[in-house]
Amino acid sequence: MMYLQIVVTIFIVFILLKLFLQKQKNRISLLAFLIWLLLWLAVLTVFWLPDTTSYLAAWLGIGRGADLVVYVSILVIFYMIFRVFVRLNKIEEEITKVVREDAIKNVKEE
Amino acid sequence: MNIFVVIPAYNEEERIRQVLDDLSLLPYKIVVVDDASVDKTSEIVATYPNVVLLRHRLNRDQGAALQTGNQYALARGADLIVHFDADGQFLSKEIEEVIQPILEGNYDIVFGSRFLEKKSDIPAFKKKIIFPLAKLVNRVFLGIKTSDPQSGFRAMTREVAERIQIEQDGKAHCSEIMAKAFEYKLKIKEVPITVIYHEFGQSMGHGFKILKDILFSKISK
């Protein structure tokens, strides 16, 4: 576990650095910054203190901490996929609108 | 009476000439929406002086092309809009029969149906399996009760074209238009039409795509 913890920590520190930089350049909102910060800190906590998930799991009625992590991850991933789908749909709609306006503007009559 | 025939066309160089030749004999304004064909469709259409050509720069599929045609026709003062296919599977002389119920003033929207009186030579697999399934989906999810689940031959008044915005860019627009017609409680009429089947057309895979589009539109809005 030790080596993995170090690798993950380096990885997360790197991500947090990028996150801080993005915030400084005002590329992301304060809310987004805080959510990401909390998420990565939570990941860090889980890797250094795996037992924390066990407490939470027991409280939620799930047997093992590792199971809880898997369940939550899957939920988050599905939600993100759904969001991407909705966004994609919206982009498709907008492309159609632009193509349509262009076609009507450049119509060839008679 | 300003009657527009809107024809979405995608790679129809083989067949569109015949369709336009037939339609040119009739007193309608013809609008072809070329959906970014990669063949000579638009060059062929451009040789017809009385045909209006709208070109999509990117392929946006049939539903999107029809909505483009509708918007153009409405902007040009259409009183009545007919949707027609570019691949020659419908008969131009039947447009008269399809618009008749509207001209007589009793109906808002008319759908051509392959399953009333006239004999269309429908392939057995489509007739026995795909269409009954499509009808079931239409009835259960969309409240559509027509004899033909996927008719591309239809006519509508100006008011209907303004009200029914086609949001399904793909092939699900057929079901969408029918669903909206029922939802808005329009006066709906089905008229028997003849359909000439070529070797291609929509397959079972297309059917699933339509189903997916319909279901997705239900959850993403």
Nearest to B68 among A86, A104, A109 (CB): A104
Determine the residue type at B54. Answer: L
Q: Residue A92 domain-assigned?
A: yes
The total of structural domains in chain A comes to 1
Output the six-digit token pair for B134: 């499509």
B168-186 pLDDT tens trace: 999 899 989 999 999 999 9
For tokens 């119920």, what's the residue? B101
More confident residue, B171 or B150: B171
Residue B23 burial class via C-beta count within 10 angstroms: exposed 0-12, middle 13-18, buried 19 and up: buried
Chain A within 8 Å of B29 (Cβ-Cβ)?
no
Testing the interface with A: which of B32, B45, B51, B60 to mutate, by most A Cβ within 10 A?
B60
- In a domain, residue A31? The reply is yes
Contact at CB, A103 and B49, closer than 8 angstroms: no
Task: Report, as an integer, the average pLDDT of B94-104.
Answer: 95
Is residue A110 domain-resident? no
| SS3 label, residue B165 | coil
Contacting residues of B for A109, CB less than 8 Å apart: 52
A68: left (phi over 0), alpha (psi -120 to 50) or beta: alpha
Q: How far from A30 is each of A12, A13, A20, A21, A89, CA to CA, in Å?
A: 19, 19, 11, 13, 27
CA distance B172 to B39: 25
Q: B72 in contact with A at a CB cutoff of 8 Å?
A: yes
Q: Tell me the CATH architecture of domain B3-220.
A: Alpha-Beta Complex (3.90)
- Whether B152 and B65 have beta carbons less than 8 Å apart is answered as no
Is B52's Cβ below 8 Å from some Cβ in A? yes
Residues in A 32-61 with any Cβ partner in B closer than 8 A: none
Query: CA B138 to CA B184: how far, in whole Å?
Result: 16
Instruction: Find the domain containing A63 and state its range.
Output: 2-105
Residue B176 near residue B63 (C-beta atoms within 8 A): yes
pTM: 0.78
pLDDT of residue B119: 59
Q: How confident is the model at residue B117 (pLDDT cuts 50, 70, 90)?
A: low
* pLDDT over 60 at B201, yes or no: no
Interatomic CA distance for residues B82 and B156, integer angstroms: 7
